[in-house]
Structure 1
Amino acid sequence: MENTLIEELEEKLRQAMLNSDVAVLDDLIANDLVWTMHTGFVSNKEQDLEAHRSGIFRFTTLDISDRQIHPFSQDCVIVTLKAKIEGILNDQVFSEVYRFTRVWLQRNNRWQIVAGHVSQIIPLHSTS
């Protein structure tokens, strides 16, 4: 399994998230997606797509760093990364940094995200 393909899919995903391109997101996300939000809420594919479709999420910045690709088998790859995300959520402007874990699985010669988790990175404040 070439990491290049997953890197390309990750970039396609990033662009689709920035543009709320529901058709591309629908293609990249498995129907049986299990996604744990930073709030602890467990989401599915339809909830994710609806958030983009309805405009609840509107991203203006999605800067990726520290992306690591961990192949586990020919058909399973875990991606971890850090993302600075800016945009509008429920009509509120936000700018936060998150850590993502995504599980890409190949089924029927097609790579899709089947599971993932996102955690907000909370800056540590100095007491001095």
Structure 2
Amino acid sequence: MKTKPRKNHTICLPFEKNRYDGLIKAPKTFREYVDGQWVTHPELFPEGMGLGYTMKDIRRSKKLGIAIRRITVSGTDYSIRLSFAMPYMGGFAADAEKGLYLRKYGVPFHALAHTCGRIT
């Protein structure tokens, strides 16, 4: 039996780290922020966003311990990922910045781990 690849159900939005906790705890303010981002950057959102969405729930990332809000668009659930967190909540972008910069110039992974450390 062949399985279908799972589609990405994550929307990455720009958040300021110091404002995020306040936004996530206030559903009305969070909705206003998402609506503003949709108007400014519609390419970041799935088709059907213009038809509306519902706030689903809040989950806590096991890796980073931060709250992640989910929304439902056209019957599909999407996690709102923070721009200051790496994909799959593998760490914070600021922690990986120097390693990613060095990787751009072909520095081998073992040298990156030695120089920048390892996110576990």
TM-score by length of 2: 0.31
Q: Which protein has the bigger strand share?
A: 1
